[in-house]
Each structure stands twice: as structure tokens, then as C-alpha cells.
Amino acid sequence: MKRMSVLLLLLSVVAFAVPENGFTPRTSQLFPSAMVRYSTPIKVSGVLGLVFMQLHGQDSYSGFFAQIEPGIAGGKINVGYRYGEHHFMPLYNIGLAVSVMQTWSSPLQDVESDQTYLGLELVGAFSVVGLNGGVFKHIAGDDEDSNWIYSLGIGVGI
């Protein structure tokens, strides 16, 4: 009898804890990101970052992100804004980032090493596959032949 009373009490608490129809949670969450990427001109790189997610109803989110991306032939720092859908982890996202890229070693696309570029990148992901593409303006270094360069990449991670 005592167990039955406890069970009824627990069921009544659970019944009152269920949110009403139309309830949309408004909260924020910090989500780490990590990826291995191959892109031009910096070849293979590792991406580490944080997403400051503002959670919306219907499993969607939006928010700012920041990433650091050291690679074999260069590195980038990205700061941007993205929108996406999540469940227990982000399902897809799309965003725009401002990126600063420095080259070293032997970058692709006839780009010389020790050059600095500033650019805009369109970034996105579906599940664990990430894509990026952008255009960069040469801002420092002695390679005047590569005033504008383009970057495309694909990666795997979260």
C-alpha cells in the first residue's frame, strides 16, 4: 500500500511537470566544436571552437561562434554567427564568419608563405560533415600577385 501511494505521488508530480502545448524554451548554451578539415590554401587543419547557442523552440538555435584553425600550411581565426537545428547535438547549421588567415610552409593555389589575408566565409554543416568557402583579401606580406584568393574546404567533426 505504501508503494502504491509513492507511485501515485510520483505520477501526479510527473503529470504536472509536463509542459503545456506551445511551450518554447528560451535558454542559452555553450557548445564546443572540433573538426579535422582539408581546405585551400592551408591543407589539413584542426578546428577548435565554441558556439554560444541561443536555443529557440522547435529544436532550433542561433548564436555567435569563435574558432581557431591551425593547419599544415597556414592557420585561421574565425568569428561569426550561425543558425541551425539541434537535438542532443547540432544537426545542421549555416553561418557567416569573418576570418583572418596566415600562411606558412607551402600553401596551395600558388599562394606564398608568410602572407596574411582577411576574408568572409560561408560555413555550414550537416551532421558531422562541415563545408566552408570564402573570399580573402591580401592585407600583409610581399606577395602582391595574390591580392584576392578563394578558399574551399570540407571537414569531419562536431
pTM of the model: 0.79
pLDDT tens, position by position, 81-120: 999 987 777 789 999 999 999 999 888 878 899 999 999 9
Neighbours of 36 (CB within 10 A): 12
Average pLDDT over residues 125-139: 94
pLDDT tens, 65-81? 999 999 999 999 999 99
CA dist 148 to 38, 66, 111, 115, 144, Å? 20, 24, 10, 12, 9
What's the pLDDT tens digit per position in 22-31? 555 558 888 8
Of residues 108 and 35, the one with the higher pLDDT is 35
> Is 117 in contact with 149 (CB distance < 8 Å)?
yes
| CATH placement of domain 24-157 | 2.40.160
The residues facing 129 across adjacent strands are: 126, 156
What confidence score (pLDDT) does residue 132 get? 96
Average pLDDT (47-66) is 89
pLDDT at 119: 97
Tell me, what's the pLDDT at 17? Answer: 55
